[in-house]
Structure 1
Amino acid sequence: MKQYEYMAPCHFGIEAVLKRELQDLGYEITQVEDGKITFKGDQSAIARANIFLRTAERIMIKAGKFQAKTFDDLFESTKAVPWENYLPKDAKFWVTKATAVKSTLMSTTDIQSIVKKAIVERLKSVYGVEWLSETGAKYPIRVNLIKDEVTIGIDTTGVSLHKRGYRLATAKAPLSETLAAALIMLTPWKKDRILIDPFCGSGTIAIEAAMIGANIAPGINRSFIAEHWTNIILAKDWYNAIDEAYRAINKDVEMHIQAFDLDPEMVKSARENAERADVSEFIHFQQRDFHDLKSPKKYGFIITNPPYGERLEEKSDMPKLYSDIGKTFAQLDSWSYFIISGYDEAAKYIGKKPAKNRKIYNGMLKTYYYQYMGPKPPRKD
């Protein structure tokens, strides 16, 4: 089978999680960069990566990589890429996004226009036509320039992979599904351990944990733009990947996941989101103030995304909030707790130095993932 090189972008700071996911799927990693993993696979990897990966934002075929300091360089090098290997004669294609960082060429609109023109010229020459109808399947193209190095990818995903399809209602500052999954996978939590999110909002952390525990593939109930392609990936590849995903589901598991929020409307929305994700049976939702957090269990996990004063007027509330979080969580003295926050003084007011503090970029917002490890529970006989 023909091998392709793929690019899977992710949130900055969670590359190690995505790398592990790709290796678990059986793919060879060729490069790890900030916010992106490159890997090799045959055409079926388009379906499997899109359906199974929990922490990637999208899957792109890597079409070309080259240096360009002038627009002439950009045009000629783009035209030299064998686009006929990826785009059929009737393909509808456009440069959906261009980014440029520390590069000589910085005008993203010009980059988009020139790349499109170069591809058109290449395909007109190869297919022996004067114009391209562009009436067929869609092939969105993305261009990225970093220090004059150009990478061009063809998007196989369409709507970003964090859109699982279950979350219609969101909180004021929602955590994306991909980032929530990564936060869970950065901890030692397993499905047989109790997990509580006392600031659950729209329920994303609890829902993603339940999907991980029941082995429900995140892309099982959504569509992808490459499903309409017929030149690279076959329909049977999609059917096989979906069959693989359904066979892997295990609903015969016992999980103890709890999700609390002070806002009754958020609790209602979170419960509805869990029902759409088909994991409501595994999660206990409740309207509750985090100050009332208690558990008879000696060991457990807290993974949460508390408010961190995104608005200026909320900043003054943060010291007391995080001080209260520290005092409340300390009562569960043998639990492990993991807190993501954009508030850079959170650890100071929690009153305890975290075992680890990982920087993760939530879009353009720098956040900190404070990891407080409790003692390991004794082994079960």
Structure 2
Amino acid sequence: MSRFEFLAPCHFGLESVLKKEIVNLGYEVTQVEDGRVIFAGDESAVSRANIFLRTTERILLKVDKFRAESFDELFEKTKAIPWENYIPANGKFWVAKATSIKSKIFSPSDIQSIMKKAIVERLKKIYKIEWFPEDGNEYPIRVTFMKDEIMIGIDTSGESLHKRGYRKLTSKAPITETLAAALILLTPWNKDRILIDPFCGSGTIPIEAAMIGANIAPGMNRSFLSENWTDLIPKKTWYSAIEEANDVRRDSVEMTIQGYDIDGEIIKAARQNAALAEVDQYIHFQQRSVSDLSHNKKYGFIITNPPYGERLEDKADLPALYKEIGRTFNALDSWSYFIITSYEDAQKYIGRQADKNRKIYNGMMKTYFYQFMGAKPPKRENRENLH
């Protein structure tokens, strides 16, 4: 059985969540870096990581890592890699993305063209052909330069893993599925506790929570680029991973998850998305303003992504909105609430300092995940009070 290394990129600030997921899946984490986790596994790790991991953007098959300070060095070291172990003679291959940070080689387009030439030169000699038809399976290559060190991986996922397949309709500023899942996993919430998202938009946080509670693998209803790489990954590993995903799914679970939004049309979209994700039976969506939020149960969780003034003209409304959030949430004084926002004055207007504040980069935007912890329910609390 072959042993590979894999690169799993994630949002900056969420590496620990992804690491825990990978370990729980049974794989050895070999390195944690800013924005990615590197782990080892056999060929079945490709299918299982793509299907089961909730918080990574894609799974890359690690090809090599080396230093290069000139284009000549980049060409020669790329050419020395045994690309024939990965790419067949009819494979379609290209450097799909190149990034460079604090490195002497910094032009992405030059990196892409030089590496492509080097791979072609290598494979010409190996396959004894002058021209490549590139009419077979796709092998997109992604490279990252950091302080003159290059990491090279082949993308096994294709479309980003945040595209679970259920979100056909979205709100104006949607949170990605991978980020929503990571935020939930950062909290102590579990399926036995009430969860409300009062700014649910197209339903991503409630849907991801329901999928976590029912143990529905996020990738079980989509396809992946490497499914056809039968020279590298036996087809049976994909069938086996899907069978495993079906076996661990808990359809009979009971949960109380609620999603509210002031926009009635977006609530309709959220209901449709939940139905596509096969979790609509677990979630109650309703058109409701945050100021109308109340609950008769003593303990519960709020996890939400409120507006934070993506457009300049919206920023003037933020103090009043966050004061309203503070007034409403603090009335639920035994509840725990978790808010992701880029609004730097959020705590000031909420009127309370967060117990924890975690910086997370949502793309290039710095956001804060404020965690306000409520009282823990007594251990012998009647389960009715938790629902």
What are the superposed Cα offsets for residues 320-341 of structure 1, whole Å, 9 maximum, x if unpaired? 1111101110000000000000
Letter of the 2:310 partner, please give it: E
Letter of the 2:280 partner, please give it: S
- The equivalent residue for 2:214 is 214
What is the SS of the residue equivalent to 1:48? helix
> Is 1:134 the counterpart of 2:134 in the alignment?
yes
- The equivalent residue for 2:36 is 36
C-alpha distance in 2 between matches for 1:339 and 1:38: 29
Give 1:345 shift. Answer: 1.1
Give 1:98 shift. Answer: 0.6
Give 1:148 shift. Answer: 0.8
> Is 1:333 the counterpart of 2:323 in the alignment?
no
- The equivalent residue for 1:359 is 359
Give 1:251 shift. Answer: 1.0
Identity of aligned residues (%): 66
Letter of the 2:214 partner, please give it: A
- The equivalent residue for 1:64 is 64
C-alpha distance in 2 between matches for 1:244 and 1:365: 37
C-alpha distance in 2 between matches for 1:34 and 1:166: 29
Letter of the 2:76 partner, please give it: E
**CA contact 2:67–2:150 (8 Å) conserved in 1:** yes
**CA contact 2:290–2:324 (8 Å) conserved in 1:** no
> Is 1:199 the counterpart of 2:199 in the alignment?
yes
- The equivalent residue for 1:312 is 312
Letter of the 2:357 partner, please give it: N
- The equivalent residue for 1:295 is 295
- The equivalent residue for 1:345 is 345
Letter of the 1:102 partner, please give it: K
- The equivalent residue for 1:92 is 92
C-alpha distance in 2 between matches for 1:39 and 1:121: 30
The alignment covers a number of residue pairs equal to: 381
What are the superposed Cα offsets for residues 34-81 of structure 1, whole Å, 9 maximum, x if unpaired? 110000000010000000000000000110111111000110111111
What is the SS of the residue equivalent to 1:354? coil
Letter of the 2:94 partner, please give it: W
User: Which consecutive unaligned segments of at least 5 residues does structure 2 have?
Assistant: 382-387
What are the superposed Cα offsets for residues 100-126 of structure 1, whole Å, 9 maximum, x if unpaired? 111111111010000111111111111
C-alpha distance in 1 between matches for 2:94 and 2:231: 18
- The equivalent residue for 2:385 is none
- The equivalent residue for 1:285 is 285
Moved over 6 A (4+): none
C-alpha distance in 1 between matches for 2:11 and 2:311: 23
User: Which consecutive unaligned segments of at least 5 residues does structure 1 have?
Assistant: none
Letter of the 2:199 partner, please give it: F
* More displaced stretch, 120-129 vs 209-218: 120-129
C-alpha distance in 2 between matches for 1:224 and 1:342: 33
**CA contact 2:342–2:366 (8 Å) conserved in 1:** yes
- The equivalent residue for 1:26 is 26
What are the superposed Cα offsets for residues 136-195 of structure 1, whole Å, 9 maximum, x if unpaired? 111010111111111110000000000000001111100000000000000000000000
- The equivalent residue for 1:50 is 50
- The equivalent residue for 1:155 is 155
Give 1:8 shift. Answer: 0.2
- The equivalent residue for 2:188 is 188
C-alpha distance in 2 between matches for 1:350 and 1:331: 12
C-alpha distance in 2 between matches for 1:135 and 1:293: 56
Give 1:380 shift. Answer: 3.2
C-alpha distance in 2 between matches for 1:230 and 1:78: 24
Give 1:132 shift. Answer: 1.9
Letter of the 1:295 partner, please give it: H
Give 1:129 shift. Answer: 1.8
Letter of the 2:365 partner, please give it: L
C-alpha distance in 2 between matches for 1:311 and 1:210: 31
What are the superposed Cα offsets for residues 310-365 of structure 1, whole Å, 9 maximum, x if unpaired? 11111111111111101110000000000000111111111101010000011111
What is the SS of the residue equivalent to 1:90? coil
C-alpha distance in 1 between matches for 2:47 and 2:2: 15
Give 1:22 shift. Answer: 0.2
Give 1:379 shift. Answer: 1.1
C-alpha distance in 2 between matches for 1:151 and 1:126: 23
What is the SS of the residue equivalent to 2:375? coil
TM-score (norm 1): 0.99
- The equivalent residue for 1:246 is 246
C-alpha distance in 1 between matches for 2:181 and 2:189: 12
- The equivalent residue for 1:116 is 116
What is the SS of the residue equivalent to 2:223? coil
**CA contact 2:302–2:336 (8 Å) conserved in 1:** yes
What is the SS of the residue equivalent to 2:144? strand
> Is 1:369 the counterpart of 2:369 in the alignment?
yes
User: For the aligned residues, what is the CA RMSD?
Assistant: 0.7
Letter of the 2:343 partner, please give it: Y
C-alpha distance in 1 between matches for 2:344 and 2:80: 47
Give 1:89 shift. Answer: 1.5
C-alpha distance in 1 between matches for 2:196 and 2:76: 55
> Is 1:179 the counterpart of 2:179 in the alignment?
yes
